[in-house]
């Protein structure tokens, strides 16, 4: 894995959110962070990724007492899964397509977009690269262990879950081999904001 750049406030914020909501929030397509106030609480994959990233970036800005991440970049993350990948990739100039994803190229806090079949709803809402799902890599502040946090509405464990990165990548191998996975590094937006 790439050597980590210290984003301690961001890392701790994402980890707190994951600890608070994993296993306690269900999945509902099209529902963003406002769904956390529903009873029972629900959120979709892009809503969850957006919440993790924007709160992490705001925490980093507050810890640094300056704009490490620009308000414009954070606002651009309030989108659907394919658009989040597109915005981060375009704004940072960094996107890995499936065949270029290796342990050496994989960002510490990767955001991963996947083409997961061709759902019927996507016929009326075509997606860039066919991306229909997004997940966020988070790290344990205690030991640096990497996990994938996602909100998913499949047949198993619907809602927010946390899976060790190595296990998640192994279970997603078919997407990697089929060229249906893209990785971006949202924290590269920090260097862009700093000029």
In-domain check, residue 104: yes
Does 178 reside within a domain?
A: yes
% of the chain at pLDDT higher than 90: 72
Instruction: Find the domain containing 173 and state its range.
Output: 8-193
List 43's β-bridge partners, or say none: 27
Could you tell me if residue 24 is inside a domain?
yes
CATH code of the domain in which 150 resides: 3.90.1720.10
pLDDT digits (tens, 9 = 90+) for 6-47: 799 999 999 999 999 999 999 998 999 999 999 999 999 999
Taking the CA atoms of residue 30, residue 119, residue 180 and residue 97 in that order, the dihedral angle to the nearest 10 degrees is -40
User: Does residue 143 fall inside a structural domain?
Assistant: yes
- Per DSSP, the residues of the chain read -PPPP--HHHHHHHHHHHHHHTTT-EE-TT--GGGGGSSS-EE-HHHHHHHHHHHHHHHHHHHHTS-SS-HHHHHHTSS-HHHHHHHHHHHHT--EEGGG--TTT--TT-EEEE--S--GGGGTS--GGG--EEEEEEE-TTT--EEEEEEE-SSSS-EEEEEEHHHHHHHTHHHHHTT-EEEE-GGGHHHHHT-
**Structure tokens belonging to residue 26:** 């269900």
Decide if 112 is inside a domain. Answer: yes
What pLDDT shows up at residue 102?
79
d(CA 88, CA 99): 19
Cα(188)–Cα(194) distance, integer angstroms:
10
- CA 19, 21, 27, 29 torsion-angle sign: negative
pLDDT of residue 98: 84
pLDDT at 2: 46
Would you state the pLDDT for residue 114?
Answer: 94
Domain contains 80: yes
At residue 162, φ and ψ (nearest 5 deg) are -135, 125
95-104: per-residue pLDDT in tens? 999 888 877 7
CB neighbours of residue 93 within 10 Å: 8
Residue 1 lies in a domain: no
Question: Which of 12-16, 54-58, 135-139, 158-162 shows the lowest mean pLDDT across its residues?
Answer: 158-162
| 183 in Cβ contact with 175 (< 8 Å) | no
* Count of the separate structural domains present in the chain: 1
Structural domain contains residue 146: yes
Q: How far is the CA of 176 from the CAs of 37, 112, 113, 173, in angstroms?
A: 35, 11, 11, 5
């Amino acid at each position: 894995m790439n050597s980590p750049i210290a984003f301690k406030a961001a890392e701790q914020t994402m980890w707190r959110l994951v600890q608070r909501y994993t296993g306690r929030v269900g999945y509902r397509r099209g529902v963003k962070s406002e769904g956390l106030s529903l009873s029972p609480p629900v959120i979709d994959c892009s809503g969850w990724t957006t919440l993790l990233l924007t709160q992490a970036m705001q925490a980093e800005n507050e810890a640094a007492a300056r704009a490490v991440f620009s308000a414009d970049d954070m606002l651009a993350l309030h989108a659907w899964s394919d658009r989040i990948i597109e915005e981060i990739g375009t704004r940072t100039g960094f996107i890995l397509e499936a065949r270029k994803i290796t342990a050496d190229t994989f960002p510490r806090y990767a955001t991963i977009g996947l083409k997961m079949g061709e759902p019927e709803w996507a016929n009326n809402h075509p997606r860039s690269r066919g991306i229909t799902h997004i997940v966020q890599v988070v790290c344990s502040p205690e030991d640096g262990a990497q996990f994938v946090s996602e909100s998913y509405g499949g047949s198993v464990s619907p809602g927010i879950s946390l899976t060790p990165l190595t296990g998640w990548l192994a279970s997603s191998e078919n997407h990697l081999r089929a060229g249906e996975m893209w990785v971006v590094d949202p924290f590269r937006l920090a260097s862009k904001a700093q000029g």
